[in-house]
Amino acid sequence: MFPEADEQGMPVMDLDSQKYIKIWQGPNHPGVTGNMSLELTISGDEIMHAKTHVGYLHRGFEKLFERRRYIQCFPTCIRMCVPEPDINEYNLARGTELLAGIDVPPMADWIRMLVLEMARLQVLLRMVPGQAGTIGLGLGAQWGLYYRELILDRFEELTGGRIYHMYILPGGVRGLLPDGFKDRLEDNLKKVESFMKDIDRLIYSNAVFKKRTKGIGIIPNDWIEPYGITGPVARAAGYQTDIRLDYPYLFYNQLEFDYNLEHESDVFARFRVRRKDVDTTVDLLRQIMAKMPDKGDFKAETPNVLHWKVPKGETIVRCESSRGEYTFYMVADGSMYPRRINLRGPSYTHAVAVLEKLLINANISDVSPIMVSLATCPPEIER
Amino acid sequence: MNELIDHIKARFPIYDVIESQPGQIFVSLEASKLIPMITSLKTNHGFTVLVIFTAVDWIEDDKFQITYVLNNPKEKQDLGIRVFIHRDDATMESIHHLWKHAATFQRELKEMFGIDFPGSPGVDDPFLLEGWDNIPPMRRDFDTKKYSEETYFPRPGRETNDPATFMKQMLYPDD
Amino acid sequence: MSEKKQTEQDKFLAPENKKHTVIGPDGEEIQVDPLNDYFCTDLPKVEAPYKGVLEKFLNWARAESLWVLSYGTGCGSIELPPLFSPRFDAYRFGVAMRPTPRQSGVLIISGYLAVKTLKRVIRSYEQMQNPKYVIALGSCTINGGMYWDSYNTINRLDHYLPVDVYIAGCMPRPEAILAGFNKLKERIKSGNAEGANEYIEKLEWYKANQKKIIKDWNMPTYNW
Ligand code: SF4
């Protein structure tokens, strides 16, 4: 029954032999991932071969940056990752500051940290309940969207935008927190916490959910470094990685938190790591609000942004997104336009190399839980 | 980190060593020495993670810079290696045997810059574009604005201003 | 189809779509040409609206049950799930999400369209049953928006599909999308939303535009 291999070790599957069928999953997507398609060759309901096709959202950002000044890059770059735009702003701002040698006032760094954690919470509130949708339990996702709206309200109050904020600029942020902001955020956090208790009962102790997600999509420990796996997926395999702890940026070294580890490395373990991440994020938000100063300078002096020449150099900046390590590589050539800005997100390997390998011999109904557990996000593969 | 650089210097001809941030060093190297150096870094020095693998087009010098950023998760160090190749016959040795996801990067570089990596699995398959028949789009001599205007029916009446002159007119109309 | 065109098309064909021989269960050989055998090559016809009260009644019925194809194409697709969540609750306007084009009447283009997606979107649109409507979200569909100079995203949607309602914004808020739905309802009730017929009347022009940018056109002209 198993396909024979040719001399390169690739399986030979003759579609005309009527043993194999080729089907496409996508480019429409199951729930919370983005538009990408999987070309699956199946035999019965077992997957024999999988190939990822991306490019449905390719906009050529890296080409567009060649024609944009540094400040013009900001409104463009945040559209690179739609669910969690703020990490793009932060990385680009931080990279520009490093290249240009600008020091950021501490107040701005605290606010940036608050914004990044709020963005993470917002994503997780969509991810964590939404992942049960992949096996047909859509109720949690509906609830989750309501609680996500609460966080979006806070964003709207702080920055004026629901999804795209453009709040972090090189040199600092655009403003201070409004009066009473912390109280209202604390209110929302309480609601989120009680909602998470519901989610625990609805999803994590649901027998069907457990049965469907335990023991599938196991990533062995020795794949992690050769495949470049990061973030929650690596942590679910017991691999200690979290950019916030390993390469502390902003003031993460002043906060108390730890790696959220699991060891089974199956789909359920990855979902558990995300669930623990919610608690960590809520806790971090509280710590940030308690520790941050009330007033202070929130923007450093920068040159006139329309004539800003950034000196020659290159650097990499990384931060921890909800999906894993998110890295920018920036090259400046001394002109007003960046020479090259390259983004490498976690999905770059998760959605292509890892997913193609993981799907082999999986059942066809397990494709979407596996895909969602890897948190594939095509916009950051194709930019 | 400095020890490591001294150690590498003794064995490989690296130049242009720049520390861009603490724990983050960029070096340049001849293209032919790349595979031995990366292999040695990976097996002997703990640089087991490939973070970034991309190219920069230096069209003035007629060169492509290919950057490999390796990461050492134990010591928390990053080492960026730049190699330069000619734009005309852009060919580079493949590293797909060292990292599994390197083949994806190479597929993208082949499509976007036209850099060939002989032997890399699936390197000729289209990755992001479908039916592309122009020069590879990330090359600097490809003009995306011109291409867009010729191909995609720009809406009449849409204005584009140079931001510097436009802001000057808005803020200081009298000058 | 002329000989030359055929070979040009063959260049892009997937291997399983080329002409080939299949061995049947009893060992007989069957020649298949998937493009002509599996697809209908007839071009569509204009469906003239009814007259008078009947058309009014039908339009009222159409306007009150807008079923949306849940296919998100751009950034805007992130604002669509909240639209169907308790806070904005589009269901009260008779708007519901459907998973397949065969069941839906409204196609929402929720943002920029890369060329590769455009091909899929056209296919989805042509598979939808009449009457069908298109809502375009965001400035990307109007004039290219953020990506006006990008080499891979289209600038004007109305050159490829007939658009009924544009919703401006980058990205439009859920409230704006709801207002857009109401606008579409008004348009349908007044009998102006004849996009599907317009598409068929001007099919040649639309197809020429589509083929200009989809360079590896390897399928039948309509509804492949
Ligand atoms: S209009 Fe704005 S939000 Fe909508 S797809 Fe375009 S860039 Fe994204």
Interaxial angle between packed helices A70-77 and A86-100, expressed in degrees from 0 to 180 and rounded to the nearest 10: 160
Q: Does any ligand 1 atom lie closer than 6 A to the CB of residue A51? A: no
Q: Does any ligand 1 atom lie closer than 6 A to the CB of residue C174? A: no
Short-list C36, C40, C59, CA closest to C222: C40
- pLDDT above 70 covers a percentage of chain A that reads 94
What residue spans of chain B are helical by DSSP H?
A: 2-11, 34-44, 102-113, 144-151, 163-171
The mean of the pLDDT values for chain C is 82
Residue A173's DSSP bridge partners are A168
Tell me which chain C residues have a C-beta less than 8 angstroms from the C-beta of A145: 81-82, 85-87
Residue located nearest, by CA, to atom 5 of ligand 1: C111
pLDDT 10s digits, A9-53 = 666 676 666 678 888 887 876 556 678 888 888 888 888 888 888
Q: What is the distance in angstroms between the Cα of A94 and the nearest Cα belonging to chain B?
A: 12
Tell me which chain C residues have a C-beta less than 8 angstroms from the C-beta of B155: 142-144, 155-156
Structural domain boundaries of chain C?
A: 65-213
Three state DSSP letters for chain A: CCCCECCCCCECCCHHHCCCEEEEECCCCCCCCCCCEEEEEEECCEEEEEEEECCCCCCCHHHHHHHCCHHHHHHHHHHHCCCCCHHHHHHHHHHHHHHHCCCCCHHHHHHHHHHHHHHHHHHHHHHHHHHHHHHCCCHHHHHHHHHHHHHHHHHHHHHCCCCCCCCEECCEECCCCCCCHHHHHHHHHHHHHHHHHHHHHHHHCCHHHHHHHCCCCCCCHHHHHHHCCCHHHHHCCCCCCCHHHHCCCCCHHHCCCCCCCCCCCCHHHHHHHHHHHHHHHHHHHHHHHHHCCCCCCCECCCCCHHHCCCCCEEEEEEEECCCCEEEEEEEECCCCCEEEEEEECCHHHHHHHHHHHHCCCCEHHHHHHHHHHCCCCCHHHHC
ipTM confidence score: 0.87
What is the Cα–Cα distance from C136 to C110, expressed in whole angstroms?
6
Confidence band (pLDDT; 50, 70, 90) for C1? very low
- Looking at the partner chain, which of A55, A64, A146 has a beta carbon nearest the beta carbon of C150? A64
Q: How many domains does chain B have?
A: 1
Q: What is the pLDDT of residue A266?
A: 87
Least confident of A239-248, C198-207, C213-222: C213-222
Short-list A346, A322, A374, A323, CA closest to A216: A374
> Residue C5 above 60 pLDDT?
no
The predicted model scores a pTM of 0.86
Q: What is the distance in angstroms between the Cα of A295 and the nearest Cα belonging to chain C?
A: 32
Q: Which chain C residue has its CA at the smallest distance from A85's CA?
A: C75
| Contact across the interface for B142 and C12, Cβ inside 8 Å | no
| Contact across the interface for A316 and B24, Cβ inside 8 Å | yes
Q: What is the pLDDT of residue C10?
A: 64
| Contact across the interface for A57 and C74, Cβ inside 8 Å | yes
> Residue B5 above 60 pLDDT?
yes
| Contact across the interface for C148 and B129, Cβ inside 8 Å | no
Q: Does any ligand 1 atom lie closer than 6 A to the CB of residue C138? A: yes
Domain range for B48? 2-156
| Contact across the interface for A340 and B163, Cβ inside 8 Å | no
What is the Cα–Cα distance from B58 to A333, expressed in whole angstroms?
10
Structural domain boundaries of chain A?
A: 61-324
pLDDT 10s digits, A185-209 = 899 999 999 998 888 888 888 888 8
Q: Does any ligand 1 atom lie closer than 6 A to the CB of residue C145? A: yes
pLDDT 10s digits, B108-135 = 888 888 888 888 887 888 888 887 888 8
Question: Ligand 1: distance of its center to the CA of C76 in Å?
Answer: 6
Residue of C139, C150, C153, C167 best suited for mutating to test ligand 1, as the one with most atoms within 8 Å of CB: C139
Name the pairing type of β-strands C106-109 and C66-69: parallel
Total residue length of chain A: 383
Architecture of domain C65-213: 3-Layer(aba) Sandwich (3.40)
The domain spanning residue B139 has which CATH number?
A: 3.30.460.80
- Looking at the partner chain, which of C112, C171, C173 has a beta carbon nearest the beta carbon of A59? C112
Is the CB of C154 inside 8 Å of chain B's CB atoms?
A: yes
- Looking at the partner chain, which of B130, B142, B149 has a beta carbon nearest the beta carbon of C116? B130
> Residue C173 above 60 pLDDT?
yes
| Contact across the interface for B148 and C214, Cβ inside 8 Å | no
What is the Cα–Cα distance from A308 to A335, expressed in whole angstroms?
8
Is residue B175 assigned to a domain? no
> Residue C88 above 60 pLDDT?
yes
The mean of the pLDDT values for chain A is 84
Q: What is the CATH number of domain A61-324?
A: 1.10.645.10
Interaxial angle between packed helices C115-127 and C203-213, expressed in degrees from 0 to 180 and rounded to the nearest 10: 150
